[in-house]
Amino acid sequence: MSRMSSNATATAAFAIPDPKLPPPDRLTPEQAQIWCEVTERLPAGQFAGDNKALLEAYTGHVVLARRLTAEIEALRSQSLRAAKNRAVVAQLARLRAVETRAAAALAVKLGLCLAARYDRGEQARNRREAEPTGTRPWESWREDAERADSLRSGQQ
């Protein structure tokens, strides 16, 4: 029986891929597809505990928003001159906006979008560190002008 070093054992443990979280049985096929798309591109540990329920809600909002979009597009191909059609499209658009906002909020909470990883404090620190140090040209012009005047008056 050969003995593996601790480094080899640690490396072997990382080489085994994490099993992805399967979609719950209660999801529709469309929701299950979204679930798989999301979980396949992210680490398995990201969806532990309460995140599973949030991900389930997220898939429902995305599917409903897509269905509302399809309904709106179908009605737009018809004439919108009738007041009834305009009212229906407006109501569907409002519902889609609600579903889209809910899906976006859940996407941020789940860490699915860039907004979730945006830290204003870190961005401000990075901006301050990138700024050049020393006197800025618009702050030092008066000192430069006084120095030039003193040099001219000294030469005369």
Q: Is the entire prediction scored with pTM above 0.75?
A: no
- Give per-residue pLDDT as tens, 8-64: 555 555 545 556 788 999 999 999 999 999 988 888 777 777 788 899 999 999 999
Residue 58 in contact with residue 42, Cβ under 8 Å?
no
Closest CA to 46 of 104, 107, 130: 107
Indicate whether 137 belongs to any domain.
no
- The structural domain count of the chain equals 1
**Residue 30: which domain range?**
19-119
- Stretch 119-138: mean pLDDT: 71
Indicate whether 43 belongs to any domain.
yes
Indicate whether 69 belongs to any domain.
yes
Indicate whether 73 belongs to any domain.
yes
Indicate whether 46 belongs to any domain.
yes
Closest CA to 17 of 37, 44, 38: 44
Indicate whether 24 belongs to any domain.
yes
Indicate whether 39 belongs to any domain.
yes
- Stretch 87-97: mean pLDDT: 93
* Rounded Cα–Cα distance for residues 29 and 65 (Å): 16
Indicate whether 153 belongs to any domain.
no
